[in-house]
Structures are given as C-alpha cells and as structure tokens.
Structure 1
C-alpha cells in the first residue's frame, strides 16, 4: 500500500479530531518571537537549545514534516526565511492560518520528507525535522535529501523516537504492564497479524515504523553528517515507559 498517501489522510483526520500536534501556536507566542523571545521543540517537551541555531535573522530554514502551525510560525516570526514541507493538507492549512493572522510569510509545500526534488542542492542553512520519520518505511532517503539540500556547514536538527517504545504491547501498557511483544526495527507489516493490521487500518491509526538507532543516528553519519549535539526527552510522565527510560532523542548534525 502507499504508506505516504495513507498517513496523509490520517493526519488530515487528526486535525479534525484536535490532536495535540495539530494545535497551532497563539498570537501571543508569535508576538514574543517577533521580539526575540522564542523557543521550539522537536520532541515532546524539551526545548531545543538556542545555541543549536545560527543567528536566526534571514536564516533559510526548511521545517521538514513539521506542519500543524507550531515550529514554522515561531521561526518565521523570529526573522527566518521559512519553508515548510508536510504530507497533510490540513496540517499545512494550520500554518497558513497562523501566518495570515500574524502577517508572516511561510512558503508551504505538500510533499513527502523522502522526496525533496523540488529543492535544488544547497538551498537551506538549516533543516528542522521534529519527530516524524516514524511515518516512513525507509529513513535513509530522508537523511540523504537533508544532506543534499543543506549548504556546506548547514545544520540538521532532528527529533527521533527511541525505538524502545515499539517493543511493547500497547494494550498491556494501558493496563499498567510493560510486556515485550515486538522486535526492532518495527514494521506493522511484519509485526502485526493480518487481522491486527486490518483492524488498525479500519480504526484510522497511522502506520508507524520503529527505526533502529543505527538507522536513525548511524544513518545521518552514513550520508555525511557530523553529530555535534544530543539530548533526550520523554512523554512528560503520561506514558508508563517514562518511569524507566527517555523515549525521545534530539540530534544536532552539521554538513561538512
């Protein structure tokens, strides 16, 4: 099946249902950003260190798979030249709405994070890529495209799911039990039975893939990035797993 097309429709419906990752920032936050008081996240809670960013004014930034009216408007308000790529029309509409409400300019493009051929080589100074590559089967094309479109010395800031979260049975975790059920790398096409997969699709659940750390971090290094920053984050205490391990990783990588 076409995973990108399917997940695009799922995210359109997530907007309609009011998912937290579809809630745009307020005008108050935008106004603060215009005054130089800004911060963004690429994981669940922890803000990206300011020193991970070059001087923001005029910086050419690609917000990759980052729709929802959250990161892109803040960075545009702070003075960056922002382009946003996402697969969901309704997620992009959130950013367009915030931009119109606050007199911002954001260039929006509907496309998969794996295919950025609409951009020429060395088009951007920075790519901001919040947790989202769990929605594609193969992430090496993501890292390769990020490396291609960044200028030499450019920065890639990525939010990454620690694949450990895909080890456990979700239904058992809801009951307060961490039961190992799946292996990593995780794919719903191999991990789930035909009946389980059909039920998931009927319920409109996104297709997610638990990529190994070798694919996530090693993949960046493989295509030519140098990792220069790293931190961990969690779900903020709302998941049982938070008691035992950080479930997210953020990396800062430089194109040499």
Structure 2
C-alpha cells in the first residue's frame, strides 16, 4: 500500500469517527464545570498531550475571531468560546465536530462548525481570523506545508498561529518492542504509516480502526511556518502521557507560537 492506494483524508475521517465511538481521550467533551470556570476566566487548554499553553500566548480573547484548526472533539473550542472568543472549528471528522456541537448546545455557546480539510481553507476569506489554534493533528495529512500557507492567508496582519506537532523522531522505534519496554530504532525518515509499514504492520492499526500518521520533518513543521511568512515568537516541548516509553528519555512533542507580521 502507498499513499496513492488510499485516500488519506477519507481514511482518517472514518478512523476519527470510530475513535469518537470508542471514547478516545481526545474525543471526550469537557464537562459543565470546565465551561463554568472558563466563563469566570479560569481556563487552560493544550496543544500537545499534557502541558497547558501559556495564557500570554493567547492575548485578550474577548471578541476575537478564533479558528480551531483540525481541533474538534468538544474540548478546546468550547473553552475558548466560554472565555469570550468568537470560535469557528474546522475538522475532517463529522463525529468529532458533533462533540463540539454537543457541548455548545448543552452550554448555550455559539460555535461555527465546518467540515473540511486542514490543507484547504478556501471556505474562509483572507484575513478572517485573529488567532488560529491548531493542536497536534497535522500528522493525519500527507503534506503539512499547505496547512501553514493557508493559515497565514486567513490570519489578519498581526494574527497569531498556535500549533502543536510531534517530533518525527518518535516514529523511528519498533512499536511492538516499545510495548515491551524496549526502544529499538526500526524505521527511517521520512516515515509514514501509509508507506513505511508492511501490510502486516499496518493491519495492527487498521484492524483497530486507528488513524494512520505521517511523521513530518522539522524542516516542514518549523521551516514550513517560516517559509509561509510567519515569525516564530514562542516555543516549548512536551512529553506524552504517563507510561509512554519514549517520554522517559526525551520530549517528543513541540508547540510553537508564530505571528503574521503587520503589513503582510
């Protein structure tokens, strides 16, 4: 199987719909107490698995146009709306968008929900948003550079892009041995679940209905933002959830704050 044998977007849309049905941690909506706290100004959300994004990265959210890009699931978007932002969510998974709708209806929040491809934001005009919140999700598309170019286009001058993504190094290790607590390098870069795995290895994921991932290089993740025109203004690293073998040795996730310069 190669990326030419499968529709990456279609496969991962259906996979994330299945993750919602299975109750994956990134599909479980926040409770009423989280929304109540956000309305009081007490809130935090994540771009990466565990570390809250610094509040100063957001600036004043009240009345700001915010795009949650490939970030549905009933978690971040409702919190930002409760904090005073005017939030639009674009995501590939109808079921994930349904989780945001569920919270919005329960809490009386206004959310604009759009099903779409993170690489194609043509539904939005140039300069539509003040801030884009893009949590770890671009591993589910096979080319990340269009994501950065489109994000730059739809941001207003001075707008901010907050993004999370994985360090591609975490994809190098043999997952079967990793489950046994052994880290052995098996794969080469560039890595893709669609092209790097044998049919048998890939079946381990597809039989479980799990999404398939692509390990984008840091040249495409960080360099891609810079090439799109952004100025990097913030950076931190994060580890995976407790029990992850790789996280015992290094931080495998990255968050960036990038700014679209005034006059661009």
Same fold at TM > 0.5? yes
TM score, norm. by length of structure 1: 0.97
Contact in 1 for aligned 2:194/2:213 (Cα 8 Å)? no
Match of 2:63 among 58, 65, 69: 58
Question: Within the alignment, does 1:234 sit opposite 2:219 as a pair?
Answer: no
Between the aligned partners of 1:171 and 1:122, the Cα distance in structure 2 is 46
CA RMSD of the aligned region, Å? 1.0
Contact in 2 for aligned 1:237/1:243 (Cα 8 Å)? no
Counterpart of 1:137 in structure 2 is 142
Paired residue secondary structure (1:189): coil
Moved more, 192-201 or 141-150: 192-201
Alignment of 1:18-97 (within 5 A): 18-97=23-102
Alignment of 1:1-256 (within 5 A): 1-198=6-203, 200-256=205-261
TM-superposition CA deviations, 1:15-59 (whole Å, max 9, x none): 011100001111101011111111111100100001101211001
Between the aligned partners of 1:153 and 1:26, the Cα distance in structure 2 is 33
- Number of equivalenced pairs: 256
Distance 1:122 1:217, change over 3 A: same
Counterpart of 2:3 in structure 1 is none
TM score, norm. by length of structure 2: 0.95
TM-superposition CA deviations, 1:141-160 (whole Å, max 9, x none): 00000000000110000011
Contact in 2 for aligned 1:69/1:98 (Cα 8 Å)? yes
Please state how far the C-alpha of 1:206 moved relative to its aligned partner: 1.1
Between the aligned partners of 1:184 and 1:101, the Cα distance in structure 2 is 45
Please state how far the C-alpha of 1:198 moved relative to its aligned partner: 4.7
Between the aligned partners of 1:12 and 1:70, the Cα distance in structure 2 is 16
